[in-house]
Chains A and B, each alone.
Chain A
C-alpha cells in the first residue's frame, strides 16, 4: 500500500453546469492496478467527476471545467489530444446496460469498427474479450442473439467485455451493479476483481458492502468535495472525518 504508481488524477478540479457549481476543488488520485470506490450521497457529483476523465462533458454545452486531469503524465484536456483518443484509453461502463438492440457480437464489434481495427482481427478479439469477461461460456453458442435477450447481469458483463475489447488503461464504472440481483452482482464483482491486474478501475457505488468487498481504496465525496480518501479498510473502520463515519454507518445520505 505504499509507493503506488498514480495512473489517473485530478487536481483542483472544478465544474459548473451553467451557473451551478457541481465540483468544488476536487483533488484525487487513482493508483494503478487498484480498484478505487467512489462513494457519497446522491447528487454529490460522483458521476460528474467520473465523466470528467473520459471527457463526456464535452458533449454538454453548458458544462465548464477547470483544473488539471492527468492520465500518467498526459493532460487530458490540453494539447492536441482528442476526446475520442481519451475515451479509447479510458473506458466506461454505465449504470444501465445499454439497451440498444444489437447482437452480442455486433455490440463488441461496434467499438472495434469505430477504432479501425482490421476486420480479420476482430473475431479473435471479440472471443478473447468475452472470455476475459467470463461470459463466453454463456453466450458462445449464439453470438448473433440480440443482446437485449440476456439477463441484466450478463448484459453488464457484456458491457465490460465491450470496454476491455479496446484494451483501455483505465475502466470507469458508474454504479454497474445497481440494477442487478445479488447473484449477478457477485459475478460482476468477481470479474472486476480479476480485471484489476490489467486495468486501473474506478467504481461509483452506493453499496457500502460492495465497496468493502472489492475496493482497495475508497473516496468519500459530499456536495462536490472530497471529504476523505484512503485505504478502504481504514476509511470504513477508522475514518478520520466524523462525516465519513456517519455516512458509512448509514446515518445520513
Chain B
C-alpha cells in the first residue's frame, strides 16, 4: 500500500520534471520562432541590407527610417570599451588570486567578487547616474556624463566577476608541474605567470573573455540608464549612445502593435540573438578545448 503510494509520487515527480525539461525546449523554440516570424515580417517591408547598413534609426520620422547601424555600433563601442577595461583587470585579478594572494585575503576577496555578480543591474545603473555620470561630466566639462564611456565602465564592473572567476579556474587548473619546472630553472613568479601559466591557461581565459563579452552585449538596464540614449550615429566614448538592447527596451513599450516599427524591434533582437549566440558558441568551443587539454 505504502509502496504503491511512493511509486505514484515517484512517477508524478518524474512526469513533472520531464515536462519542465520539455517546456524549456518549447519556450526556446517559441522564442526563436517568434523572433524569426516577426523578423521575416519586417524584412518584407525593409530590405535586410538597408536595415543593417542604414546609418539612421528614426522610426517615428516621416518617412520612417530603419537603419540599425548606429545601434550596432553603439553596442559594439560600449562592449569594446567594457572589455578594454575588464579583460586586463580581470586577468590581473585572477592571477593575483591564484598565484599571489594569501589564504586570508583570498577568503575575503573570493566571496566579495561573487557577490558583485549578484548586484542587480538597476543598482549598477544608479552608480552610473549618481557617481560616474557627474564624475565624467566634471572631468570632461560636459553637461552630463551619460555616455558610452559611462556604460563601458559599468559593463566592465558587471562582467568582471565572470571573467575573474573563470580565468582563475583556468589558471588554477594549470598543472603544478608546469610551474615548478619553470621555478626550478630560476624563474620568478612573474616570469612563470607570463611565460608558462597564462599561455597554458589561454583557452580557459579566452572562454572567460567570451562569457564577459556575451554578458556585456546583452545587458540592458545598465546601459539604458547610463549611456544617455541618443540614437544619433555614435561619435565616440564621450558621446551619448543608444545600444540595441536599450532601443528595444525603450521603444517596445510605446510602439503600436504589428507595425513595421514593431517588427523592426524584433529584427534588432534577432541580430542581438545571433551575436550572443556566436559569442557563446565560440566561448563554449574554447571551454571544451580547454577541458580536453586538461584531461590529456
Q: Is the CB of B186 within 8 A of A87?
A: yes
Determine if A100 and B181 form an interchain contact, defined as CB atoms under 8 angstroms apart: yes
Number of contacting residues on B, CB 8 A? Answer: 19
Question: Counting CB contacts under 8 A, is A122 at the interface?
Answer: no
Tell me, yes or no, whether A111 is within 8 Å of chain B by CB. Answer: yes
Residues of chain B from 88 to 131 with CB closer than 8 A to chain A in the complex:
102-103
CB neighbours (8 Å) of A91 from chain B are: 184-185
Contacts of A54 in B (CB 8 A): 184
Looking at B103, B178, B183, B191, which has the most chain A CB atoms within 10 Å of its CB?
B183
Q: Does B182 contact A (CB under 8 A)?
A: yes
Cβ contact of A87, chosen from B102, B103, B185, B200, cutoff 8 A = B185
A212: CB under 8 A from chain B? no
Whether A115 lies near B186 (C-beta < 8 A) is yes
Within 8 A of B (CB), among A119-163: 159, 162-163
With A94-B180, A100-B181 in contact, is A111–B196 under 8 Å at CB?
no
Cα distance, A110 to B191, chains bound together (Å): 10
A96 to B176, CA, bound (A): 12
> Could you tell me the distance in whole angstroms from the C-beta of B100 to the nearest C-beta in chain A?
10
**A110 neighbours in B (Cβ, 8 Å):** 182, 185, 187, 195
CB of A92 within 8 A of chain B?
yes
Interface membership of B188, Cβ < 8 A:
yes
Is B177 a contact partner of A87 (Cβ separation < 8 A)?
A: no
Closest residue of A by beta carbon distance from B192: A114
Q: A56 is contacted by which of B180, B185, B191 (Cβ under 8 Å)?
A: B180
Select which of A56, A85, A159 is within 8 A of B186 by beta carbon.
Answer: A85
Q: Which residues of A contact B180 (CB under 8 A)?
A: 56, 59, 92, 94
Docked pose: A59 CA to B200 CA in angstroms = 19
Q: Within 8 Å CB of B191, what residues of A?
A: 114
Q: Tell me if A79 counts as interface (CB < 8 A to partner B).
A: no
Chain B neighbourhood of A59, CB < 8 A: 179-180, 183
Are B178 and A56 in touch, CB under 8 angstroms?
no
Chain B residues touching A, majority SS:
helix
Scan residues 169-209 of chain B and give those whose CB is less than 8 A from a CB of chain A: 175, 177-188, 191, 195-196, 200
Known: A85-B186, A110-B185. A96 touches B177 (CB 8 A): yes
Q: A61-B103, A100-B200, A110-B195 are in contact. Are A166 and B185 (CB under 8 A)?
A: yes
B184: which A residues are within 8 A, CB to CB? 54, 56, 87, 91-92, 94, 163
When chains A and B are docked, how far (Å) is the Cα of A211 from the Cα of B182?
28
Contact with B along A80-105 (1 / 0, CB 8 A): 00011101100110101011100000
Given contacts A61-B102, A87-B183, A110-B195, contact A98 B178 (CB under 8 A): yes
**Interface of chain A residues 166 through 181 with chain B (CB within 8 A):** 166
Contacts of B188 in A (CB 8 A): 84
Provide the residues of chain B in CB contact with A159, threshold 8 Å. Answer: 181
Is B185 a contact partner of A111 (Cβ separation < 8 A)? Answer: yes
A84 to B195, CA, bound (A): 16
Contact B181 A114 (CB under 8 A): no
Determine the residue in chain B with the shortest Cβ distance to A92. B184
Verify A111–B186 contact, CB threshold 8 A.
yes
Contact B178 A88 (CB under 8 A): no
Per-residue interface assignment for chain A, residues 14 to 57, with 1 indicating a CB less than 8 Å from any chain B CB and 0 otherwise:
00000000000000000000000000000000000000001010
Are A94 and B177 in contact (CB-based, < 8 A)?
yes
What is the minimal beta-carbon distance from B171 to any residue of chain A, in angstroms? 14
Contact B187 A114 (CB under 8 A): yes
How distant is the Cα of A110 from the Cα of B195 in the complex, in angstroms? 9
Question: What A residues does B196 contact at CB under 8 A?
Answer: 100
Alpha-carbon distance between A166 and B195 when the two chains are bound, in angstroms: 18
CB-nearest residue of chain A to B99 = A59
Distance, CA A61 to CA B98, complexed state (A) = 12
A127 to chain B, nearest CB (A): 18
Report A-chain residues with C-beta under 8 Å of the C-beta of B185: 87-88, 91, 110-111, 114-115, 162-163, 166
Measured between alpha carbons, how far is A91 from B179 in the docked complex, in Å?
Answer: 15
Task: Tell me the bound Cα distance from A174 to B120 in angstroms.
Answer: 52
Min CB–CB distance B289 → chain A (angstroms):
13
B186 touches A98 (CB 8 A): no
Task: State the CA gap A163–B186 with chains docked (Å).
Answer: 10
Given contact pairs A83-B183, A163-B185, a sample of 12 additional A-B residue pairs in the complex whose CB atoms are under 8 Å apart = A56-B180, A59-B179, A61-B102, A88-B186, A98-B177, A99-B175, A99-B177, A100-B181, A110-B185, A114-B182, A114-B187, A159-B181
7 shortest interchain CB distances as A-B pairs: A111-B185, A98-B181, A92-B184, A88-B186, A114-B187, A84-B186, A87-B186
What are 11 of the A-B contact pairs (CB < 8 Å)? A84-B187, A87-B184, A91-B184, A92-B180, A94-B180, A110-B185, A110-B195, A114-B185, A114-B191, A114-B195, A166-B185
